[in-house]
Chains A and B, each alone.
Chain A
Amino acid sequence: MYTNNYVIVAIFVGLGIFLPVAALTIGKWLRPSKPIDPKLTTYESGNEPVGEGQIRFNIRYYLFALMFVIFDVETVFLYPWAVAYKKLGLFALVEMLIFVGLLAVGLLYAWKKKVLQWTSI
């Protein structure tokens, strides 16, 4: 039956709620309670936290994030292709070269438009 498949999903949802609740509750019972002020500060890798949490990020980060997508997508497609390379053969190799070539054009475009320089904007 179609709906039977969702029993497993329901079990997973139940476990997903139960496990963190149980872990936190049992932890609360077991640990010693010593509330002190420094424990309330934000954890920032050992540095003193400065300023507000919600700030405007530099627009340059977004350009870098977009650039990251190029390589990200490349990996997503290259990896399964590399695993199944022997089965797929020459035609897939050519296809993959075309794909990488198209991505390279994207990278070239970004390079020419000075996305790779931090101070371009």
Chain B
Amino acid sequence: MEALRLQLSDLQHLIPELTLIVTALLAALLDLALPRKVSRSFSAWLTLLGIVVAICFTALELNPEEPIQLLAQSYRIDDFASLLKLVILVGTGLVVFMSLGSAARDDIHHVGEYYYLFLPAALGGMIMASSGDLITLYVGLELLSITSYVLVAMKKKSTESNEGAFKYIVLGGISSAIILYGMSFLYGISGSTNLLAINSALAGSIDDVKGLVYLAFFLLLAGFGFKIAAAPFHTWAPDVYQGAPTPVTAFLAVVSKGAGFAILFRVMYWVFGSLTLMGTDLQKDALLSLSVLAAISMIAGNAMALRQHNVKRLLAYSGIANAGYLLVPIATHFSLVHYANYSEFLFYLIAYLFMNIGAFAVLMIVQRSSGNEELRGFAGLYYRARGRPQRPCCSSFRWPASRSRRDFSESCSSSWARCRRNSIGSAR
């Protein structure tokens, strides 16, 4: 019983998370206490400060002698979690940085809230990365999701933003319900919410309850598939991405997706794909369905991107296709010959983080100068901004080129669009 209680000494391992909470509270209270005349840009700097401090604390936790487990395994601080936390925090920091000063232009009235709401969202992602228990996992997921719903609706007067937020909250609620339903079966089978306990229960009695295990697996896959926007669970992404303020779109595309992959990775490796279930039908089928999901995402995302004229929708489909590429390391068989799945996953995620945030930052600049977010806004960029147009090309072309030794076809959707944009630009 004692192990289930949080001890005072455990708190030192939670310092990165606590930093974010304290900063968010501080920013919220300051925002409430200061008179309306005071500029709210301090909120952005405070948020950035909190994130930088949290990054430092997380970096200190890297490479522990052995994984730290809190609350009877429900919260784990290992390198898997710490590295993903760094990705989440860096992503959030860049998003806050790129939205500096853009809030007023984007017709956002609650500037203070806009900035400090990124902190609980990042905190939710960190909890997801660290969780070893279904309950912790779900709490983190909801913290991230609910904050994202609010952030998407931040352009209060814009119909598109409200529509996007409404779609997001309805579909997000449904997917959370599906995840919970799947979790309830896992709990019913194993009598525990702990991922490792579930795994050992499955390894012991897989044949008695096969139908239920498969049902739970597919429910979880559908729910997580929604959170990472993998086709065929992607339909919300283009509308939400289009409606949200551009930095929030970048946040959804990078941090939300990364955190979704964190729990997918954890659940797949600890529960369904782990070594104790090696060679069973369940493991084979689980990995096969992940591969199928990956393939559908790649095909659907890239094919549908060809028809888009709005850059945000285009990037949404690029995100769907990239979800497929990110699923590949999870779906690949984990064996003695091939065990670097996590490094491959993280490598791609980091590249995706910088590429995507770069692309959104360029979009913001072009949007500001051309006044719309259509592809034709890029037309004539060479003449409008001499010397500068190579920058967007750098930020996006660097991406396939740097990894040509791996699969080249990725983000071909955005490359195609870019070719089209360039041809439009030169035609005029």
Interface string of B25-47 (1 = CB under 8 A from A): 10011001000000000000000
Chain A nearest CB, measured from B151 CB (Å): 16
Q: Say whether A105 contacts B25, CB under 8 Å.
A: yes
Query: For the complex, what is the distance from the CA of A91 to the CA of B208, rounded to whole Å?
Result: 43
Identify the closest chain A residue to B189 (Cβ).
Answer: A2
Known: A2-B208, A2-B209, A105-B25. Contact between A95 and B6, CB under 8 A? yes
Instruction: Name the one of A2, A95, A109 contacting B28, with C-beta atoms under 8 angstroms.
Output: A109
Complex Cα distance, B354 from A30, in Å, reads 76
Q: Whole-angstrom distance between the alpha carbons of A97 and B103 in the complex?
A: 35
Taking Cβ atoms with an 8 Å cutoff, the residues of B that contact A are: 5-8, 25, 28-29, 32, 189, 208-209
A: residues with CB less than 8 A from B are: 2, 91, 95, 102, 105, 108-109, 112
Contact assessment for A91 and B209 in the assembled complex, using a CB-CB cutoff below 8 Å: no
| CA distance in complex: A1, B110 (Å) | 56
Residues on the A chain within 8 Å of B209, using CB: 2
Q: If the complex has contacts A2-B208, A2-B209, are A91 and B29 also in contact, measured as CB distance less than 8 A?
A: no
Chain B residues, Cβ within 8 Å of A112 = 32
Q: Which 3 pairs across A and B sit closest by C-beta, in order of nearness? A: A112-B32, A105-B25, A109-B32
CB of B6 within 8 A of CB of A105, answer no
What would 14 more interface pairs be, CB under 8 Å, given A91-B8, A105-B25?
A2-B189, A2-B208, A91-B5, A91-B6, A91-B7, A95-B6, A102-B25, A105-B28, A105-B29, A108-B29, A108-B32, A109-B28, A109-B32, A112-B32
Residues of B contacting A109 in the complex (Cβ-Cβ under 8 angstroms): 28, 32
Q: Report the nearest A residue to B113, measured CB to CB.
A: A109
A2 to B188, CA, bound (A): 9
Q: Which residues of A contact B8 (CB under 8 A)?
A: 91
Write the chain B residue with the least CB distance to A95.
Answer: B6
Q: Chain B interface mostly helix, strand, loop or mixed?
A: helix
How far apart sit A91 and B10, CA to CA, in the bound complex (Å)? 13
Report Cα–Cα, A41/B7, bound state, in Å: 61
A102 to B123, CA, bound (A): 15
Return 17 A-B CB contacts under 8 Å, by A number.
A2-B189, A2-B208, A2-B209, A91-B5, A91-B6, A91-B7, A91-B8, A95-B6, A102-B25, A105-B25, A105-B28, A105-B29, A108-B29, A108-B32, A109-B28, A109-B32, A112-B32
State in angstroms the CA–CA spacing of A76 and B209 once bound together: 35
Inter-chain CA distance A90–B25, complex, in Å, is: 24
The CA-CA distance from A102 to B6 in the complex, in Å, is 18
What are the residues of chain A within 8 A of B6 when measuring CB–CB?
91, 95
CB distance from A117 to the nearest CB of B (A): 16
- A105 to B29 Cα, complex, angstroms: 8
B324 shortest CB reach to chain A, Å: 37
User: Nearest-CB distance from A56 to chain B (Å)?
Assistant: 17
Residue on A nearest B33 in the bound complex, by CB: A112
Cα-based distance from A91 to B9 in the complex (angstroms): 12
Chain A nearest CB, measured from B112 CB (Å): 11
* A2–B208 CA distance with the chains assembled, in angstroms: 9
When distances are taken between beta carbons in the complex, the residues of chain B under 8 Å from A95 are 6
Report A80 CB to chain B, min CB distance, Å.
14
The docked-state distance in angstroms from the alpha carbon of A91 to that of B29 is 25
CB distance from A73 to the nearest CB of B (A): 13
For the complex, what is the distance from the CA of A76 to the CA of B29, rounded to whole Å? 25
Q: Closest B-chain residue to A108, C-beta based?
A: B32
Residue of A nearest to B208 (CB): A2
Of all chain B residues, which has the CB nearest A89?
B5
The answer for the CA separation of A2 and B185 in the assembled complex, in Å, is 12
A109 to chain B, nearest CB (A): 6
B115 to chain A, nearest CB (A): 15
In the complex, A105→B25 CA distance in Å? 8
User: What distance in Å separates the Cβ of A2 from its nearest Cβ neighbour in chain B?
Assistant: 6
B212 and chain A: residue at smallest CB distance: A2
Q: How far is the CA of A112 from the CA of B29 in the complex (A)?
A: 10
A3–B29 Cα distance when bound, in Å, is 53
CB distance from B104 to the nearest CB of A (A): 20
* A1 CB to nearest B CB, Å: 9
